[in-house]
Amino acid sequence: MLVVMNHGATSEQIEDVCERLRMLGVSPHPIPGIERMAIPVTGNTEMIDPQQIELMPGVMKVVRVGKPFKLVAREYKPEDTVINLDGLTIGGDELVVIAGPCAVESREQLLEVAHAVKEAGAVILRGGAFKPRTSPYSFQGLGERGLEILAEAREQTGLLVVTETIDPENVSLVEKYADILQVGARNMQNFTLLKRIGRSRKPVLLKRGISATIEELLMAAEYIFSEGNSKVILCERGVRTFNNYTRFTLDISTIPEVKRISHLPIIADPSHGTGRWRMVAPMAQASIAAGADGVIIEVHPQPKEALSDGPQSLNFQNFTKLMGVLDRIGQAMGRKIRKLNAEAH
Amino acid sequence: MLVVMNHGATSEQIEDVCERLRMLGVSPHPIPGIERMAIPVTGNTEMIDPQQIELMPGVMKVVRVGKPFKLVAREYKPEDTVINLDGLTIGGDELVVIAGPCAVESREQLLEVAHAVKEAGAVILRGGAFKPRTSPYSFQGLGERGLEILAEAREQTGLLVVTETIDPENVSLVEKYADILQVGARNMQNFTLLKRIGRSRKPVLLKRGISATIEELLMAAEYIFSEGNSKVILCERGVRTFNNYTRFTLDISTIPEVKRISHLPIIADPSHGTGRWRMVAPMAQASIAAGADGVIIEVHPQPKEALSDGPQSLNFQNFTKLMGVLDRIGQAMGRKIRKLNAEAH
Amino acid sequence: MLVVMNHGATSEQIEDVCERLRMLGVSPHPIPGIERMAIPVTGNTEMIDPQQIELMPGVMKVVRVGKPFKLVAREYKPEDTVINLDGLTIGGDELVVIAGPCAVESREQLLEVAHAVKEAGAVILRGGAFKPRTSPYSFQGLGERGLEILAEAREQTGLLVVTETIDPENVSLVEKYADILQVGARNMQNFTLLKRIGRSRKPVLLKRGISATIEELLMAAEYIFSEGNSKVILCERGVRTFNNYTRFTLDISTIPEVKRISHLPIIADPSHGTGRWRMVAPMAQASIAAGADGVIIEVHPQPKEALSDGPQSLNFQNFTKLMGVLDRIGQAMGRKIRKLNAEAH
Amino acid sequence: MLVVMNHGATSEQIEDVCERLRMLGVSPHPIPGIERMAIPVTGNTEMIDPQQIELMPGVMKVVRVGKPFKLVAREYKPEDTVINLDGLTIGGDELVVIAGPCAVESREQLLEVAHAVKEAGAVILRGGAFKPRTSPYSFQGLGERGLEILAEAREQTGLLVVTETIDPENVSLVEKYADILQVGARNMQNFTLLKRIGRSRKPVLLKRGISATIEELLMAAEYIFSEGNSKVILCERGVRTFNNYTRFTLDISTIPEVKRISHLPIIADPSHGTGRWRMVAPMAQASIAAGADGVIIEVHPQPKEALSDGPQSLNFQNFTKLMGVLDRIGQAMGRKIRKLNAEAH
């Protein structure tokens, strides 16, 4: 931490700041400059709120040098976290493709999609049973019936299942059916939910909030870690910018940045991240080429019938074509798309 | 709703779109243009998801003409909503000033602030007992003890109390103590929470999410309305932009825009909306001059000691000075800052 | 300047950094911390590009403490700059209202507006003769004929004239007719133009670029200062954000921030800053209440006929009404709207 | 174009709008809806400013259906534009890599880089001789001497040369030396410059403005086209968002969007687009995987010595490694990185 004093700060003000820092258990080292005094601070500064010091008379600004997260930081754990689900790994050499409809609409729909995406090479099935929707009048999911259908699809195909859980009370129900619990973008800072999920034993797919900074995303993961669950997969799903030709701007540079400062795996969601099905394939390709550990793609048998988020879904043909390109880009990156064993199930 | 077809859309594609629209219970009126076909749609189009049509072959785009919210729209209720709390009104001619610390830190602190802000002219006391914090390691509030302290301050001063509720289970507890329930920015799209609050009889202070559109803010209010609670006060508290000299950019143009399209009252939070105490006064003044129905201001006896959000708090002296300016600006706007009766309590 | 080394930086790397800093003529003061080494740097660090040091092995980041601008900084000149134009002052106690059409369309139009805005209380006339337009097919202004009409309006009314100059070659022509040269938002970083204007003797109205930081705005002013012209009036005119209910988001917090770090006057342009005439009045009011030194307002006799930017123009009636409110808000702020003397002209 | 009337618009207001539209040479087709009247408009609506109609009494909004650009639109010219420079093509099957230092610093530096990037597989050399810099005190380039050095490098290596031109007067000079004229992001809406370049016979590399919409980028290209120069290569170079871990957010989704609505080639600049050398490789890879026609990369012999923008430059080793990955990703995309013939020069 560095405290920078104003141009005309008095020696009394400087002494006040130093004394306060010492009271907080850290060591100030004032260094006079030509223009102003700088006070580097050593010791366990992570627990100090820089804004408290910033408010003291004579202080120009306080610069935090370290990061506010700990357990999820690469400095804390230099090697990559690899999450293992019955032999399938996320965060290692393998690339995973998660696919399925936005929402579970019916047994027929889900099973049809599940078989199709398995055929094309996906290993995890997505599908919402509880849907947080902007409008109270929109379809909000089939609820537990949707979870049952997802479980049946797993039985039939061997695909693992990821699905969203929307509030603390809802977690216990979703845990019974899902292999991976999803936290949606709108709930990334629902701290009660994060704490509850931190006490689950299931891996978590944590989506970046719509305008969350990377630091906030990692702090949300830190909440889950701090309660004991260290199986967190991050997901970039687009942020809000001035651009209006996509629903969100998929921020691909998040991928290398997260890899640099954290040990957690990260995947990309080009379907929600663009909201335009024509962009899903190029942005999925770009994500893998930037180092993502996988992608999550919306696939729908007849996208025009979809009850939610249709225009961002691929049909089977486009999804199959995309898988071919991803295979080749994965190889160009020295990685390999994970496929299900023929003999599984 | 208007459906615009591609340049080379076939007559079959156009017919498919029209047929689908008719099946959905609305009426298409295709009009050939020089460059492309446009299909205005009449009828009850609010229940149709435009994205479903956008996906059909030959469709270039679908333009929604109406708004996705209903109960909170000015078209639905042309006159301003005025919320009455024991004679104090929000949304009418009176301006309300809500003030207090970010968090309730101790009985002494809160009572000191409560008496001071009442003295200066505030009518509602703010103070968090449950604090949603970005870091799991930050102070998260005194919990129910904080609520008790708030209630004691109300007893002593006659100020009404607004405080945040952070999850559905927590609502019943907060309802027992607070006069107004606050939904924080990070929970603006916590739909389970919104629905629970919709079943409360208490007024709600609903803060705009950090990058929420105005439409999303009003849809969040619509969730509360749709469950039966129509006492919603909106609050502009800053959005995230590329600017880095404030923590957020207080988006003052929200105020006249909300007034135009909705009948709900709206106040501004320049403390969180800027994160810099030096900006609180000018931005509070600007909010009132733009037509806000009030402001919510962080005040702290010794801001440098505050356990959370100190640098955005005013001390008593600055708050009192601000109240004087707001009085004059309110008069310039033909409105009047609401004060407590001398005889109350 | 502070150099922060990586967690595991070697003593050799630290020595390399220190040596390089010494070669650049400044003094490093390495201080070991628990987690990492910090190196405060004293001396004339303003001429050092922090990015050069950031690239050296072992360096985590370099934090600039000072500001990159000098002549326009309040530290350099603590008292407010007051620009005097024949007795009219900008940046002092007086508030100025600049008004007129977006573009000079005809002699009749401009003279009608000029008389009307003078009547309502404006002191400076705006009107574009050279218009930078997004589309090559849009009306680009009357050119020199427009300047002649502006000069005639000044003769008739006594209003001063501000008008835009669009390239270095064009400056000499505009200087002959205008009292204040305007640099538009799209040219805020047209450095050749800024240098040419820096050699003019006329005051400059410098508009903030559409996504310029405040630092960039002040650096643009520094370009003009560095060539010898210190009569710069800044103008906040809206930035681009994710909001889509206005054309731009008028960033009112710029006003107190500029006042804090610079001595230059600043006005606001709510017409371009919102693009919606219904918002012009509330946002003009808010700007004055936040401490702006004036506003620039588009006014048009029959806005629906305007050749450019019609929907953001006020008609005479609305402008006159706004002037009344601004008068009262100015008084609430302890300032006074400058009016032309009855006897002038 | 579609005109939507307010809920309570009178039939007189509707008739006024229709009459005005007819006067403007287009045909209104009013259609009564349940809630409001919609007026689709057919005819040559491109020349009508929608804002003029929006201002009329009773009008709620005007929706533009078509696009404001013409010559650069894919509807105008369905096949991709392929720019041919002495056999090297941009926009076809080949991928081009442009590389070199940010600024030409000396003859030795530039020649060293030129030979190194040619060796690694680049075909075009970049390097600024005229540098638009945010600060008037920063190095602004070697000027014509820099151009001479670039020409010498071309002689020695056979690389083509792209370099920036900064104002209309400067174009004639740069044309004498460069194979491709570059328009920088800050000049994307310097319309006088665009018009001058539109009269050049050289191809143009047009960088997207820092917060320009895609529409504005294409309108800037339209300016160049409208003066007769149709050899425009677009360049995505990052936009400004709330993210602060990169200097800009490289908006990769621009690439497929431009390909969809325009016939022009587009490349990406991950060096300026991120400002962080560690991100250059992943983002270059992502750009090619998203369909870009090439990349432009900053390379510097000893990045820590660079006079400008060092931290975003790759050294020779990292650049060579990147070329290997791009080769493989290009193949995965069915394209091929263009290399210089060994025998050339």
Report pLDDT digits (tens) over D74-96: 988 999 999 999 899 999 999 99
| pLDDT reported for residue D50 | 78
Question: Each residue of B89-120: pLDDT tens digit?
Answer: 999 999 999 999 999 999 999 999 999 999 99
| pLDDT reported for residue C307 | 58
Residue C57 has pLDDT above 70, yes or no: yes
Is it true that C2-63 and C83-337 share their CATH fold?
Answer: no
D247, D251, D253: which to substitute to probe chain A, counting the most A Cβ within 10 Å? D253
Alpha-carbon distance A287 to nearest alpha carbon in chain D (angstroms): 6
Residue B61 in tokens? 């785009």
| pLDDT reported for residue D135 | 87
D299 burial (CB, 10 Å; 0-12 / 13-18 / 19+) is: buried
Question: Each residue of A224-262: pLDDT tens digit?
Answer: 999 999 999 999 999 999 998 899 999 999 999 999 999
Residue C343 has pLDDT above 50, yes or no: no
Task: Looking at mean pLDDT, say which of A313-317, D102-106, D279-283 comes out highest.
Answer: D279-283
C291–B289 C-beta distance less than 8 A: no
D278–A290 C-beta distance less than 8 A: no
C-alpha distances in angstroms, D293 versus D63, D266, D340?
33, 6, 17
Choose between D30 and D264: higher pLDDT: D264
Strand partners, B183: B206
Q: Which residues contact A1 (CB under 8 A, 6 or more apart)?
A: A26, A40, A41, A45, A48, A50, A62, A63, A64, A65, A66
Name the C residues in 204-233 with CB < 8 Å from any B CB.
Answer: 211, 213-214
Angle at B259 between CA B95 and CA B79, to 5 degrees: 85
| pLDDT reported for residue A71 | 94
**Chains in contact with chain A (at least 3 beta-carbon pairs closer than 8 A):** B, C, D
A6, A139, A167: which to substitute to probe chain B, counting the most B Cβ within 10 Å? A167
Residue of B nearest to A185 (CA): B189
Out of B68, B192, B309, the one facing A167 most closely (by C-beta) is B192
Strands (E), A69-110: 83-85, 88-90, 94-100
Angle at C113 between CA C289 and CA C345, to 5 degrees: 90
Angle at B196 between CA B195 and CA B200, to 5 degrees: 115
* CB-based contact, D332 to chain B, within 8 Å: no
Strand partners, C4: C38, C61
Q: Is C321 helix (H, G, I), strand (E, B) or coil?
A: helix
DSSP 8-state secondary structure symbol assigned to residue D24: T
Q: Which CATH superfamily is domain D83-337 in?
A: Aldolase class I (3.20.20.70)
C282–B286 C-beta distance less than 8 A: no
B168–A167 C-beta distance less than 8 A: yes
Mean pLDDT of C200-223: 96
Taking each continuous run of H as one helix and of E as one strand, the counts in chain B are 11, 16
Cα B253 to Cα C274: distance, rounded to the nearest angstrom:
8
Instruction: Determine contact, residues C1/C45, Cβ cutoff 8 Å.
Output: yes
Name the C residues in 154-213 with CB < 8 Å from any A CB.
Answer: 211
The pairing of strands D37-42 and D31-32 is: antiparallel
Instruction: Determine contact, residues D202/D230, Cβ cutoff 8 Å.
Output: no
Strands (E), chain D: 2-5, 27-28, 31-32, 37-42, 59-63, 83-85, 88-90, 94-100, 124-126, 160-164, 180-183, 204-207, 232-236, 266-268, 294-298, 336-337
C242–A35 C-beta distance less than 8 A: no
Alpha-carbon distance A173 to nearest alpha carbon in chain D (angstroms): 36
Question: Each residue of D4-57: pLDDT tens digit?
Answer: 888 788 889 999 999 988 888 888 888 776 667 878 887 777 667 777 788 788
Mean pLDDT of D65-75: 85
Mean pLDDT of D300-310: 66
DSSP 8-state secondary structure symbol assigned to residue B134: S
Out of A34, A44, A75, the one facing C44 most closely (by C-beta) is A34
Give me the torsion for CA of D46, D52, D57, D58, rounded to 10°. Answer: 30
| pLDDT reported for residue B38 | 79
Strands (E), C64-159: 83-85, 88-90, 94-100, 124-126
Q: Tell me what ipTM this predicted complex has.
A: 0.90
Cα B39 to Cα B45: distance, rounded to the nearest angstrom:
13
Strands (E), chain A: 2-5, 27-28, 31-32, 37-42, 59-63, 83-85, 88-90, 94-100, 124-126, 160-164, 180-183, 204-207, 232-236, 266-268, 294-298, 336-337
Task: Looking at mean pLDDT, say which of A34-43, C62-71, C213-222 comes out highest.
Answer: C213-222
DSSP 8-state secondary structure symbol assigned to residue B266: E
Residue D302 in tokens? 């000893």
D246–A329 C-beta distance less than 8 A: no
* Chain B residues near residue C291 by CB distance under 8 angstroms: 282
Alpha-carbon distance D22 to nearest alpha carbon in chain C (angstroms): 15
Q: Which residues contact D101 (CB under 8 A, 6 or more apart)?
A: D109, D110, D113, D126, D127, D298, D299, D300, D306, D313
Residue B343 has pLDDT above 50, yes or no: no
| pLDDT reported for residue C81 | 97
Out of A241, A246, A328, the one facing D241 most closely (by C-beta) is A241
Out of D239, D244, D286, the one facing A290 most closely (by C-beta) is D286
D134–C219 C-beta distance less than 8 A: yes
| pLDDT reported for residue D306 | 60
A138–B166 C-beta distance less than 8 A: no
| pLDDT reported for residue B266 | 98
Write the DSSP assignment of D26-53 as a string of letters.
-EE--EE-SS-EEEEEESSGGGS-HHHH
* Chain D residues near residue A333 by CB distance under 8 angstroms: 285, 325, 329
Mean pLDDT of C82-92: 95
Mean pLDDT of B19-43: 81
| pLDDT reported for residue B2 | 82
Instruction: Determine contact, residues D39/D2, Cβ cutoff 8 Å.
Output: yes
Residue of B nearest to D34 (CA): B43
| pLDDT reported for residue A309 | 58
What is chain B's mean pLDDT, rounded? Answer: 91
* Chain C residues near residue A29 by CB distance under 8 angstroms: 31
Residue C32 has pLDDT above 60, yes or no: yes
C-alpha distances in angstroms, B139 versus B128, B134, B172?
11, 10, 23
Domain boundaries, chain B: 2-63, 83-337
The pTM score is 0.91
Counting residues of chain C whose pLDDT is more than 90, the rounded percentage is: 70
Grade residue C342 by pLDDT with cuts at 50, 70 and 90. Answer: very low
Instruction: Determine contact, residues B125/B99, Cβ cutoff 8 Å.
Output: yes
Question: Each residue of C113-130: pLDDT tens digit?
Answer: 999 999 999 999 999 999
Cα B32 to Cα C308: distance, rounded to the nearest angstrom:
29
B40–D2 C-beta distance less than 8 A: yes
Residue D182 in tokens? 């570059």
* Chain A residues near residue D277 by CB distance under 8 angstroms: none
| pLDDT reported for residue A306 | 59
Residue C167 has pLDDT above 90, yes or no: yes
Q: Which architecture does CATH list for C2-63?
A: 2-Layer Sandwich (3.30)
User: Count of residues for chain D?
Assistant: 345
* Chain B residues near residue D242 by CB distance under 8 angstroms: 211, 240-242
B42–D31 C-beta distance less than 8 A: yes
What is chain A's mean pLDDT, rounded? Answer: 91
Mean pLDDT of A316-325: 96
B54, B65, B74: which to substitute to probe chain D, counting the most D Cβ within 10 Å? B65
Out of A190, A210, A311, the one facing B51 most closely (by C-beta) is A311
| pLDDT reported for residue C34 | 60
Mean pLDDT of B6-20: 87
Cα B337 to Cα B294: distance, rounded to the nearest angstrom:
8
